Every structure is written in C-alpha cells, then in structure tokens.
Amino acid sequence: MSTHRAALLVTATLVCIVSPTRACDSLVTESTSQNYRPEDDATRWGRALMHELRELHARDEKMPQQPWAEETPPAAASLPDIAPEFVSAPWHGLYLATKGLGLCRQEKFEEAIRYLEQAVMFLLDSRTLKIELAMAYNATGQEEAACRIYEELIGMNEGEELATALQRGVTDQDALCNLAYTYTRCGRADDAMACYRSVLTHNPDDERARLGMQFTEIKAGAWQYGWPEMPYEPPSGGRQLACKEDVAGKRVLLDACHGGAGDIFQGVRFGQTLKKLDAQEVILRVPGYLQRIMHGCVGIDKVCTLGDEPPEFDVCAPLLSLPRILELSPDEIPTQPYLHADPVVVDEWREKFTQDGAQKIGVCWLSGTAYHTPHLRAAAKMRTIGPQELKSLQVKGATLYSLKQGTSPEERAALPGVKTPEEKRRGFIDALGIIANMHKVITVDTSIAHLAAASGKEVLLLLPRQADCRWMEDQDGSEWQNRSPWYPTIRIFRQKPGEPDMCNAIKRACEAASR
C-alpha cells in the first residue's frame, strides 16, 4: 500500500472513531484537528466500519476489480473532489460510508441513504454498512427495502419462505432480531414472532428479542404474554408484588419509575384495579412534576415523589408492570375517567377564551423526541405533524386552540387560524385546565392524548402508519382499528398504507370533529 494510502487510512480511521460526521472531509483535506464530543453510537459504528475496512485492505491486492469501479459513479460528481486513484473500491467506499454515517448522526436520513447505497456497492462485504442502511430505510418509512437487506444478511434467498431459512439455521442473530422488528413495522406479526422465537431459542436471555416479542404480543391483544417485566429495585426493605392474590389487605406502593408522562397518565388507572382486589391503601410515587396533578386521581390514596422515602407499605411494584402482574386482558382495564382538572384552574382559563358559542377544539401536533439515538428519535418524529401537514388542520365552524406551550414562526404561518394562549403555564396542571374548557381535542400520540382521554374528554387521535403497540392492530377488521381499549372517548385516525404523510388522516379527523 502506498504511503499516501496509508496516511489517508490512518487519518480517516482517527476521524471516523471521533466523529463520522467529519470523516469524509479527511479524505479530501487529510486534516485531523477535531474539537467535538464523540457520540456513543457514532464511536461504535465508526470502529466497526474501520475494522471491516482493515479486513478489506488485508486482501486489497487480491480483490478482483469490480465493474462499477472502472468509472466514477454518477452521484460522485456532486461530492468534493477526490484524487482519481481513490475513486475505486474500497477507498471511495470509505468516503461514501463516512459521509452517510455522518448524515445519519445529523438525522438527515434521506440524504444519508444516497451515500450509503453507493458505499454498500463498493464495500459488498460490509455487514455494518448494510445494517446502517437498513436502519436508515426504517427511519424514513421504507420498511420493505430494510427487510430485503436483513433477509440477505440472514442468508434468506430471493423468493424463499422465511420458515425455510429459519429451519436451515441463522448465524446472524442481530440481523434476525432487526428483521423481526422490521416485519412488525410492516404488519407481518406472525413472521416477526417466528424470528423472535428463533433468536430466543439460540439465546433465551436476548433482551431485544424478548421485549420485541412482548410488544408484538401487546399489539395483537395477547396481553397475558406481552407485558414485560420491568427492571426494578424495590425501596429499602420492600417486597415486590408477585401476583394479584398478593393484593388483598395490603398497602401497595406503585413506583412510576419507567416511561414518560403519557405512560404514567395511562398507568395510574390501575390503582382502581388494586382497590377492586381489596388493597388496603394505594400509594403512588411519581416524578415531582406530576405530583400535584395526581392528587385526586381515582384509586390513589397517597402521592409522593420519586427519590423521597415513601410512606409505610407492604408490597411494591413498578407501575407499568401491573398488567403483567395482575394478568389483565384488554376487556379488564378500568376505562372510566380518573384524572380531574382543578376547578379553580378551569375557571381561570375559561375567562381567557372567547365565549362566542363556537366549538372550541384543542390541538397538539408535536410529539416528544427525547430519545438517546438518532434512529429512535426518527421513529418518534413520525408521530409529529410537519408544517406542510399542519395546513390540513382546519375544522369548519370551530375555533382551534394550541395545547402546546408556544409556537414557532413556521408553525404560526402554517396555522394562521390557531389561537395560542401565551400565558405562562404551570405544566400539566394548566394543560388539563385548558383541556377542560375544550369541546374536543385533536392530537398526535403524546402525553396530551393520554391526559385528555384520562379526564374523559373526546379525543381524535392521529396515528402514523407505524404506531405504538399500545394502540393495537390497525388491520382491516381489527376490533381496535379505530378505537382504543384504554380510552372509550378516543377515536383513532390512522395514516393508511400508501399515504405519504398524515394529511388524509388529519382531514378525516377534522371532518369528524366538525360533526
């Protein structure tokens, strides 16, 4: 290998390990000055990529010249200039790969796919890049393309039945687990379950496969198998609740130590279930920002905050494990309203709204994206309505009020008719007070949906094609296609297969809201 190539590879290796975002530029400038913080997944993928590139280099001289390496790929014309001798496999593949990886870290998946598709052509043996490309496909809703990559990685031949491939044996369990997840996104629950079972047969302790299988079961309504056992450390001296027969006569501590606000709003209903099982007292321990709104929650006797020493109790359990511990099915969960707005707060907000007799509808179009990887954040963003889709949010004869604190100039331009109460809000206490003054709520899948429905408000819920498992199956004829076992006041409006965005679902919800 030439000195120039060696220097180039060392430079790219160092930069790729620090940050794939800048690695592509090192192929042009050979500069190694970096002053930014590495991201865990970027470091992991960078090292994996460089390991594979070193393996490729070890047999570089023996590699046959690939047909596409004889000329510059068309898309390479738009890239920064590179010395002609490097526009060949695998070195130009490194350039394309690091550019694509960097764009993935910036959550620019559509653009990243363009580079990764080319990089995979140069680096045919790179399992790492193929998985990254498949993940980018999933992040942009191209699940069928992702399936084809994972099927190739598990050794599944074109046109072959999944069962045949599984019977032959799969060595790449990671790819198989990812394929199962992607099958779930495609609505192929049976195939997903078959993949998860195969992974668990080889490794019963595989956490991803176990959770994936359980969430698939939840979506299908098989709750007796689905609800996961959440990792939980009972408070000092505490004994964890083992089964529903263990409830009667006990003081039960519910720890809301998993999930976000929406998960907790959804789960606190199980205080009622414990009361029906003759619990002596139900104590709820929640994050401090939710303590006030939980006072008066039906089925809850005492409320305290996480981190504080709880009142005396006999048994305890993580809130989100109760469906599993109590062996609940969809028709056994409490569905009556259980969260109530403070009457004083309701009156305060009533004075701020126009009393013109028009129907008042609260709207929320933004879902939380506080996740630790770009791909999880991309999945969460699919629940959010973009500025262009917002233009479809119009209800005849109604006044729309924003349920989110503050709006951006772009949002105001897309929603000129939506009124935004700009007064400083005291978190969910004020959000529930505003909701109580609305006739209906139109919202994406976020904590506002759970808060409104838990209070008994009529909610028109907008769901993307890839919705959370709690909203059950969306297949034609499914009992839960347009409604929820959790909240009888929710009507679901789903993005249908083939629809490029949420616009049609929004229009259907708006038509329903006007009636």
Domains and CATH numbers, the chain: 3-140 (no CATH), 244-332 (3.50.50), 343-513 (3.40.50.2000)
Packed helices 91-105 and 109-122: angle between N→C axes, nearest 10 degrees:
160
Question: Length of the chain in residues, anyone?
Answer: 515
Q: Assess contact for 504 and 496: CB atoms under 8 A.
A: yes
From residue 382, give the alpha-carbon distance in Å to each of 1, 144, 449.
Answer: 46, 17, 16
Task: Give me the pLDDT at residue 23, please.
Answer: 43
User: CB-based contacts of 364: which residues, under 8 Å, 6+ apart?
Assistant: 402, 403, 404, 441, 442, 443, 444, 446, 448, 449
pTM above 0.85, yes or no: no
Q: Which residue has the tokens 């084809």?
A: 148
From residue 172, give the alpha-carbon distance in Å to each of 157, 180, 244, 259, 480.
Answer: 15, 13, 40, 31, 35
Query: Is beta strand 398-402 parallel, antiparallel or unpaired with respect to 302-305?
Result: unpaired
**307's torsion region: left (phi>0), alpha (psi -120 to 50) or beta?**
left
User: CB-based contacts of 43: which residues, under 8 Å, 6+ apart?
Assistant: 17, 18
Task: Give me the pLDDT at residue 218, please.
Answer: 83
Element (H, E) at 55: helix 40-58
DSSP code at position 246 = G
Dihedral angle sign, alpha carbons of residues 207, 213, 218, 222: negative
Q: Assess contact for 514 and 397: CB atoms under 8 A.
A: yes
CA distance linking residue 240 with residue 321, whole number of Å: 11
Strand partners, 400: 361, 418
Tokens (6 digits) for 198: 């195969």
DSSP symbols for 338-371: -----HHHHHHHHTTS--SSPEEEEEE-------
DSSP symbols for 61-103: GGSPPPGGGGS--GGGGGSPP--GGGSSTTHHHHHHHHHHHHH
Backbone angles phi, psi at 254, to 5 degrees: -105, 120
Q: CA dihedral defined by 359, 362, 363, 366, rounded to 10 degrees?
A: 180
From residue 59, give the alpha-carbon distance in Å to each of 67, 71, 90, 158.
Answer: 18, 22, 11, 29
Q: Assess contact for 80 and 95: CB atoms under 8 A.
A: no
Q: CA dihedral defined by 170, 175, 178, 180, rounded to 10 degrees?
A: -20
Q: Is 391 helix (H, G, I), strand (E, B) or coil?
A: coil
What stretches of 203-294 show up as alpha helix (H) in DSSP? 207-220, 223-226, 261-267, 270-276, 291-294
Nearest to 67 by CA among 38, 86, 88: 88
User: CB-based contacts of 174: which residues, under 8 Å, 6+ apart?
Assistant: 131
From residue 474, give the alpha-carbon distance in Å to each of 144, 363, 479, 500, 510.
Answer: 18, 23, 9, 17, 20
Query: How crowded is residue 498: how many other Cβ atoms within 10 Å of its Cβ?
Result: 7
Q: Assess contact for 445 and 471: CB atoms under 8 A.
A: yes
Task: Give me the pLDDT at residue 511, please.
Answer: 93
Element (H, E) at 198: helix 189-202
Task: Give me the pLDDT at residue 69, please.
Answer: 32
Q: Cis link prior to 500 (omega < 30° from 0)?
A: no
Nearest to 411 by CA among 365, 354, 462, 352: 365
Element (H, E) at 459: strand 458-463
CA distance linking residue 307 with residue 421, whole number of Å: 34
Task: Give me the pLDDT at residue 50, please.
Answer: 56
Low-confidence stretches of the chain (pLDDT < 70) are 1-91, 224-225, 368-376, 422-423, 474-480
